[in-house]
Copies of this chain bind each other. A is one copy, B any other.
Amino acid sequence: MRRKGLACMAAQAVESATPAPSDVSLGPAAALSCRECGERFPLGPIFACAICFGPLEVAYDLPTGDPEALRRRIEAGPHNIWRYAPLLPVPPDVAARPNLNPGLTKLVRADNLARELGVTGALYVKDDSGNPTHSFKDRVVAIAVEAARAFGFTTLSCSSTGNLAGAVGAAAARAGFRSCVFIPHDLEAGKVVMAAVYGGDLVGIEGTYDDVNRFCSELIGDPLGEGWGFVNVNLRPYYGEGSKTLAYEICEQLGWRIPDQIVIPVASGSQLTKIDKGLKELIALGLVPDRPYRIFGAQAEGCAPVSRAFKDGHDVMCPVKPDTIAKSLAIGNPADGPYVLDIARRTGGAVEDVNDEQIVDAIKLLARTEGIFAETAGGVTVGVTRKLIEAGLLDPALTTVVLNTGDGLKTLDAVAPTTGPSAIIRPTLDSFREAGLA
Q: Which residues of A contact B (CB under 8 A)?
A: 79, 98, 100-101, 104, 106, 111-112, 130, 132-134, 166, 169-174, 176, 180, 183, 185, 189-190, 192-194, 196-207, 211-212, 214-215, 218-219, 222, 224-225, 363-364, 367-373, 407-410, 412, 415-416, 419-429, 432-433, 435, 437-438
Contact = CB atoms under 8 A, between A and B. Distances in A.
A204 B369 contact: no
Contacts of A407: 134, 409
A371 B204 contact: no
Q: Shortest 5 CB-CB distances between A and B: which pairs?
A: A199-B368, A170-B371, A174-B371, A173-B371, A215-B427
B421 A185 contact: yes
Nearest to A216: B427
B98 A424 contact: no
A426 B172 CA distance: 25
B202 A427 contact: no
Contacts of A372: 132, 170
Given A219-B432, A421-B185, A432-B219, A190 B412 contact: yes
Nearest to A426: B206
A346 B110 CA distance: 46
A169 B371 contact: yes
A199 B421 contact: no
B173 A368 contact: yes
A371 to B, nearest CB: 3
Per assembly, the copies of the chain total 2
A203 B428 CA distance: 12
A211 B367 contact: no
Contact of A134 (B219, B409, B428): B409
B170 A203 contact: no
B174 A370 contact: yes
20 contacts: A98-B112, A106-B132, A112-B174, A132-B372, A133-B373, A171-B371, A174-B370, A185-B421, A185-B424, A193-B420, A197-B415, A198-B373, A199-B368, A201-B423, A203-B422, A204-B423, A207-B426, A215-B428, A222-B429, A224-B432
A388 to B, nearest CB: 23
A201 B364 contact: no
Nearest to A195: B421
Contact of A364 (B197, B224, B420, B423): B197
Contact of A196 (B211, B421, B428): B421
Nearest to A198: B367
A418 to B, nearest CB: 10
Nearest to A169: B371
Contacts of A364: 197, 199
A83 to B, nearest CB: 12
B437 A197 contact: no
